Amino acid sequence: MRYDLDFCNSFDKTLLFWIERFVRNKLTTLSNSNVNDKDKLASIIQSLVKGTNSIDELKVLVKEARNIGLSGINTYFNPLLKLYKFLKNLGLASMKEIDEELLSDFLASETSGLSDATKKNHRIALLALFSYIDKQNENLDGNSYLFKIELKNWGGLRGNSGSKLPAYMNKEEINKFLYAIDTFEFSSETIYRNRLIIKMIIYTGIRVSEILNLKIKDIYKEEDIYILQVKGKGNKPRVAMIKSKIIEIDLQNWLSQRLCNNDLLVCNKKGNRLTQAYVSRIVEQILISAGIRKEKNGAHMLRHSFATLLYQKHHDLILVQEALGHADINTSRIYTHFDKDRLRATTNLMN
């Protein structure tokens, strides 16, 4: 069903309506392979069909969707939440007042100081929203109003988008971090689970979402190795390995007290999927206890540290690509920038 572009009498309500419709569309088109509560997803979609009363109410629904496994929705919604607040303050009367220049102003003011990768996500979210509206609006004579937003000339990106070098730990910092994992004072209910999660990430480089969606049947032992059958982005399968001595004690102790739904390997006190935000908070707490400070202290930094160390040790880009589950080897190429031994040769150029 299509709707008039200015569907409501109020601009704020109209903009909320279109963002809400777009979010509903993304929830039904994003991969649902990691969703751990189908009834909850159905309830969220039904709430969107009925409509929300405020952007904050929509924000709650998006958070609930993220917590049950649709983590990708935040890539779209967070920039649109900022856009809603930005446009609301301008006192616009019609959606037709939004144009390329106005959106460029939004990107320039709201993404200042952010990484190129995050800026790129903001641009993608805007393009996706207005492309959706182009296809879904229709006036009384059957014609559609087309925004045709491209944002090709927006100058906020420095060179190739997303090319900023990621934060990572060097070998000495990794050793301090590993020691801190075993000495950090977790509660008796979470100590084995949290140690298991963090160790599996730092020793294998798997994504936080991948371990949170890991099932009991996806981990098994062969001799002195635990093999993890991981489902990465796009439901793409791969294998990760970790020496059993690293996680054996934590794994067995956690399994003895584990009460998880949906056959999840790890879960919260209610048996449901943990959130990525929770894991990142744990990582940050351990880093602080170890006296390690980085530009970004979240759990994803552990993946970058693993990949960096892996490349420095083996100088094998294919190995890095396979270990991290990158679809394109050019994504893995970023870690060659940390090869100090190779770059040291440049110091002899003028000798």
Q: Is residue 301 part of a domain?
A: yes
Instruction: Tell me, yes or no, whether 194 and 323 share the same domain.
Output: yes
Q: Strand runs (DSSP E) across 203-301, as ranges?
A: 219-222, 225-231, 237-243
Whichever domain contains 284, its CATH number is 1.10.443.10
For 93-102, how does the pLDDT look when each residue is reduced to its tens digit (9 = 90+)? 889 999 888 8
Q: Is residue 153 part of a domain?
A: no
Choosing from 136, 156, 184, the residue where a domain stops is 136
pLDDT at 327: 78
- The reply to whether the predicted model has a pTM over 0.85 is no
Q: Is residue 151 part of a domain?
A: no
Instruction: Tell me, yes or no, whether 184 and 104 share the same domain.
Output: no
Q: Which of 195, 300, 304, 311 is catalytic?
A: 300
Q: Which of 207, 231, 273, 304 is catalytic?
A: 207
Q: What angle do CA 7, 10, 12 make, to 5 degrees?
A: 95
Q: Is residue 309 part of a domain?
A: yes
Choosing from 88, 118, 136, the residue where a domain stops is 136
Instruction: Tell me, yes or no, whether 116 and 195 share the same domain.
Output: no
Q: Who wins on pLDDT, 141 or 235?
A: 141
Instruction: Tell me, yes or no, whether 225 and 337 share the same domain.
Output: yes
Instruction: Tell me, yes or no, whether 210 and 304 share the same domain.
Output: yes
**In angstroms, rounded to a whole number, what is the distance separating the alpha carbons of residues 308 and 318?**
13
Instruction: Tell me, yes or no, whether 122 and 55 share the same domain.
Output: yes
Q: Which of 21, 119, 199, 303 is catalytic?
A: 303
For 62-87, how does the pLDDT look when each residue is reduced to its tens digit (9 = 90+)? 999 999 988 889 899 999 999 999 99
Choosing from 136, 152, 182, the residue where a domain stops is 136
Structural domain of 198: 171-342
pLDDT at 56: 96
pLDDT-above-90 percentage for the chain: 57
pLDDT at 81: 96
Is 245 known to be catalytic? no
Q: Which of 85, 233, 245, 315 is catalytic?
A: 233
Instruction: Tell me, yes or no, whether 246 and 291 share the same domain.
Output: yes
Q: Which of 76, 168, 226, 335 is catalytic?
A: 335
| Max Cα–Cα distance, the chain, nearest Å | 76
pLDDT at 162: 42
pLDDT at 160: 46
For residue 207, how far is the Cα from the chain centroid?
Answer: 9
Q: Is residue 316 part of a domain?
A: yes
Instruction: Tell me, yes or no, whether 110 and 192 share the same domain.
Output: no
Q: Are 214 and 266 in contact (CB under 8 A)?
A: yes
Count: domains in the chain: 2
- Is 195 a residue whose pLDDT tops 60? yes
Is 303 known to be catalytic? yes
pLDDT at 338: 64
Helix (H/G/I), strand (E/B), else coil: 170: coil
Mean pLDDT value of segment 242-266: 96
Mean pLDDT value of segment 213-235: 91
Order the strands of the 237-243 sheet from edge to edge: 219-222, 225-231, 237-243
Q: Are 192 and 250 in contact (CB under 8 A)?
A: yes
Instruction: Tell me, yes or no, whether 107 and 214 share the same domain.
Output: no
Instruction: Tell me, yes or no, whether 331 and 251 share the same domain.
Output: yes
Is 233 known to be catalytic? yes
Instruction: Tell me, yes or no, whether 127 and 201 share the same domain.
Output: no
Instruction: Tell me, yes or no, whether 191 and 130 share the same domain.
Output: no
Is 300 known to be catalytic? yes
Mean pLDDT value of segment 203-209: 92
**In angstroms, rounded to a whole number, what is the distance separating the alpha carbons of residues 246 and 286?**
18
Is 278 known to be catalytic? no
Is 195 known to be catalytic? no
